[in-house]
Amino acid sequence: MNNKIYIFETTLRDGEQVPGSQLNTIEKVQIARELEKLGVDVIEAGFPISSPGDFKSVIEISKAVKDPIVCALTRAKKEDIDSAVESLKFAKRKRIHTGIGASDIHIKYKFNSTREKILAKGVEAVKYAKKFVEDIEFYAEDAGRADPIFLAKMVEAVIMAGATVVNIPDTTGYCLPDEFGAKIKYLFDNVKNIDRAIISVHCHNDLGLATANTIAGISNGARQVEVTVNGIGERAGNTSLEEIVMILKTHRKLGLETGIQTKQIYKISQKISQMMKMPIQANKAIVGANAFAHSSGIHQHGILKNRENYEIIDPRDVGIDQSSIILTARSGRAALKFRLEKIGFKLDKPEIDLTYQKFLQLADQKKMVDDQDLYFLMK
Ligand code: KIV
Ligand code: ZN
């Protein structure tokens, strides 16, 4: 099986569904250019029929980028597909992402329909979209809660109708990792024509399992992951790009690769956080302010001896200059000495011992001791 994992980036579609985080077309184009530099394979640029703004954004993004595939979302409706086709007319490489609900809950309460009719609509949408665009991705919405036998039937039918990628979303973030992995495996074992399409996973984070579920999907054969920068998205968000990419880079034994330029990760994470007014929690994996910060004496001592004692990722790999040694009342002499040397004070052991006592008094009063405080201490 192929060892490349395709990165389908949906910050500009699913990510942008966050209340209060809407972007205008100029901002979306800027982000799309950054995503291209980052090396994503597919940019989901919007849902063109949903608003004139989204339609325009897909047009402008299509003009602005050349390497990634530009993808537009639709429901399984002709008018949505027509709008997507029109919005993608300038794209050098294009994809339509169409689909319909696959779970009985969606079939009954969202569509008031039956499995047979829904399956037929899905197939019809793929066939219709295929008349205009070669690359068609089909999403089986709420696949996480769908009956696997029906899901397998749907996947086989849409591949037969021409889908090149089939997206298995855990729309509500319901699945447990082993359950979701087993669902993907079931499809590989039971869908006759599955080798004719790429299987994609799209996980939401309602139970904090989006990344784990995505990894379970990959481990069972999925070769495309649908992600957003910083994991932003509807409700608790989507699988975060930086987590998946760094998991695959850190666990080389998985033998899987992405085309992501990891050194760009921190920059784009900050940019998207600022533009979308979505602060990043300090302890967010990979990109949070504390992800490479060490404050307890034992850890600081270990890090100063050898970074790998307490870090599994080199911060420079994600574009962060270096780990930070934060001075608090929990810090030890090694950290104090290190920080003083950074601002030009080289002290011998008795001097450090003396300064350390004064430092502790100050650190007990302040939460964090910064460079200004250190200058004051040395005076
Ligand atoms: O979460 C979901 O199911 C989606 C689909 C539209 C792909 O975002
Ligand atoms: Zn989604």
CA of 238 to the centre of ligand 2 (A): 7
Mutate which of 9, 10, 12, 14 for ligand 1 pocket (most atoms within 8 A of beta carbon):
14
CA–CA distance, 377 with 379 (Å, rounded to integer) = 5
CA of 169 to the centre of ligand 2 (A): 7
Mutate which of 8, 49, 167 for ligand 1 pocket (most atoms within 8 A of beta carbon):
167
Which among 371, 358, 287, 362 has a CA at the least distance from the CA of 325?
371
Which among 378, 283, 301, 284 has a CA at the least distance from the CA of 340?
378
Which among 70, 68, 124 has a CA at the least distance from the CA of 99?
124
CA of 294 to the centre of ligand 1 (A): 38
CA of 203 to the centre of ligand 2 (A): 7
Q: Tell me the two tokens of residue 241.
A: 């790009």
Given a contact cutoff of 8 angstroms between Cβ atoms, the answer to whether 9 and 35 are in contact is yes
Ligand 1 pocket: which residues have CB below 6 Å?
Answer: 14, 139, 141, 167, 169, 171, 202, 204
Mutate which of 42, 202, 214, 224 for ligand 1 pocket (most atoms within 8 A of beta carbon):
202
Q: Residue 357's CB: how many other CB atoms inside 10 A?
A: 8
What is the longest distance spanned by two Cα atoms in the chain? 82
DSSP states along 248-306 = HHH-GGG--B----GGGHHHHHHHHHHHTT-PPPTT-TTTSTTTTEE-SHHHHHHHHH-
Q: Tell me the two tokens of residue 135.
A: 């690359």
pLDDT tens digit sequence for 189-211: 999 999 999 999 999 999 999 99
Can you give the pLDDT at residue 2? 86
Residues with Cβ–ion distance below 5 A, ligand 2: 14
CA–CA distance, 376 with 277 (Å, rounded to integer) = 36
- For the chain, list residues with pLDDT below 70: none
Which among 287, 280, 230 has a CA at the least distance from the CA of 14?
230
Parallel, antiparallel or unpaired: strands 198-203 and 224-227: parallel
Can you give the pLDDT at residue 367? 86
Return mean pLDDT, the chain: 97
Q: Which CATH superfamily is domain 6-275 in?
A: Aldolase class I (3.20.20.70)
Q: How far is CA 261 from CA 8, 37, 41, 65, in A?
A: 15, 8, 12, 17
Can you give the pLDDT at residue 254? 96
Nearest CA owner, ligand 1 atom 1? 171
CA of 235 to the centre of ligand 1 (A): 12
CA of 242 to the centre of ligand 2 (A): 17
Nearest CA owner, ligand 1 atom 2? 171
Burial class (CB in 10 A: 0-12, 13-18, 19+), 372: exposed
Nearest CA owner, ligand 1 atom 5? 141
The atom number, within ligand 1, closest to the CA of 143 reads: 3
Mutate which of 18, 106, 171, 239 for ligand 1 pocket (most atoms within 8 A of beta carbon):
171
Every domain of the chain with CATH number 3.20.20.70 lies at 6-275
Nearest CA owner, ligand 1 atom 4? 171
Nearest CA owner, ligand 1 atom 8? 14
